[in-house]
């Protein structure tokens, strides 16, 4: 059984989608639709940059949906028939604007702790919280890579404690705020209002949601999961294991780069994981399955 996985923010890069649009007319048509829907030249930023503008949360989020873990859940919902493409673009654009605004108003940052198990990172987070810092585990990505999110001082303290506890190191993540943390609570409340009127239908195939690693098909539970996702941890490794328990033995990553494919090698090296970032990748996957 094949499972499709979609990357989130930080997978974007200048030039993304250009070769796809030049190779497949349908890709050019979809990206053109994104320009029309959003009302600005998203394709120009994707193809030519500058990188600083493409990295901005309010731009990167719809760009990744077009090219297609957090944001990737919206791509998955489009693929599953629960969300119309144009509706998804509008939602992630609004989501990105709200998250960027929250980042400017309350600050915050994120970092990936490398070479430490989840329990030790959780212990470091707990100690920092007891010291008065605001910081949480944001993403359980894969063995040896746990993402933390919170205030600058909170994240900095956990990075220090994790290093002292034996972590190989930590890497700052280029985002505009403390995503998947309590600092996003104002965003969750505002975004819930947009989701209430958004046209989300029951999914035609199950979508494993980040917030609980459970397969959802009902529109109401999908909307609730999207709101909760803003302030709760992304249970990525657990989500993959849910899919494997359901019979998935081949994972195809749909989107730029191969971030999730690399994670798969750490989560479950025994299963097949394939990236489709470029036309040559897509042709190779098609030849294998068609």
Q: Are the C-beta atoms of 208 and 242 separated by less than 8 Å?
A: yes
User: How far, in Å, CA of 276 to CA of 23, rounded?
Assistant: 14
By C-alpha distance, which of 180, 196, 158 is closest to 228?
A: 180
Residue with tokens 């097949």: 272
The count of C-alpha atoms lying within 13 angstroms of the C-alpha of 7, restricted to the half-sphere facing its C-beta, is: 28
The residue with tokens 């042709």 is 283
Pairing relationship of beta strands 109-114 and 169-173 according to DSSP bridges: antiparallel
How many whole angstroms separate alpha carbon 56 and alpha carbon 73?
19
* Catalytic member of 11, 43, 70, 116: 70
In terms of C-beta distances under 8 Å and separation of at least 24 residues, what long-range contacts does 263-266 make, across chains too?
263/141, 263/142, 263/145, 263/236, 264/142, 264/240, 266/142, 266/143, 266/144, 266/145
Catalytic residue among 11, 75, 116, 180: 180
Do 194 and 188 form a contact (C-beta atoms < 8 A)? no
Task: Give me the residue label for tokens 């320009």.
Answer: 35
Instruction: Give the 3-state secondary structure of residue 284.
Output: helix
Please, what is the Cα angle at 175 between 169 and 178, to 5 degrees?
85
Q: Could you confirm whether 216 is annotated as catalytic? A: no
Residue 152: both structure tokens together: 């600058």
Q: What is the CA radius of gyration of the chain?
A: 18
Q: Is 70 noted as a catalytic residue in this protein?
A: yes
Q: Which residues are catalytic?
A: 70, 180
């Amino acid at each position: 059984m094949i499972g499709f996985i979609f990357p989130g923010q930080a997978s974007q890069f200048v030039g993304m989608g250009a070769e796809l649009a030049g190779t497949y007319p349908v890709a050019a048509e979809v990206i053109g639709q994104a320009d029309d829907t959003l009302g600005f030249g998203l394709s120009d930023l994707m193809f030519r940059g500058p990188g600083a503008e493409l990295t901005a949360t309010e731009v990167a989020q719809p760009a990744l949906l077009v090219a297609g873990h957090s944001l990737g859940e919206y791509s998955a919902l489009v693929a599953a028939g629960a969300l119309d493409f144009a509706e998804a673009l509008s939602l992630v654009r609004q989501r990105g604007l709200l998250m960027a605004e929250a980042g400017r108003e309350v600050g915050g940052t994120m970092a990936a702790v490398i070479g430490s198990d989840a329990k030790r990172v959780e212990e470091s987070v707990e100690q920092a919280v007891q010291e008065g810092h605001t910081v949480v585990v944001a993403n359980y990505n894969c063995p040896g890579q746990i993402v933390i999110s919170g205030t600058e001082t909170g994240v900095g303290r956990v990075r220090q404690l994790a290093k002292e506890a034996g972590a190989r190191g930590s890497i700052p993540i280029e985002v505009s705020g403390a995503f998947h943390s309590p600092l996003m609570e104002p965003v969750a409340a505002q975004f819930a209002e947009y989701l209430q009127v958004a046209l989300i239908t029951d999914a035609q195939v199950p979508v494993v949601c980040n917030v609980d690693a459970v397969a959802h098909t009902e529109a109401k539970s999908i909307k609730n999961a999207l709101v909760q996702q803003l302030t709760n941890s992304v249970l990525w490794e657990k989500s993959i294991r849910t899919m494997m328990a359901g019979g998935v033995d081949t994972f195809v990553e749909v989107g730029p780069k191969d971030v999730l494919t690399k994670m798969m090698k750490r989560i479950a090296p025994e299963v097949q994981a394939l990236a489709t970032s470029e036309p040559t990748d897509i042709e190779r996957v098609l030849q294998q399955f068609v």
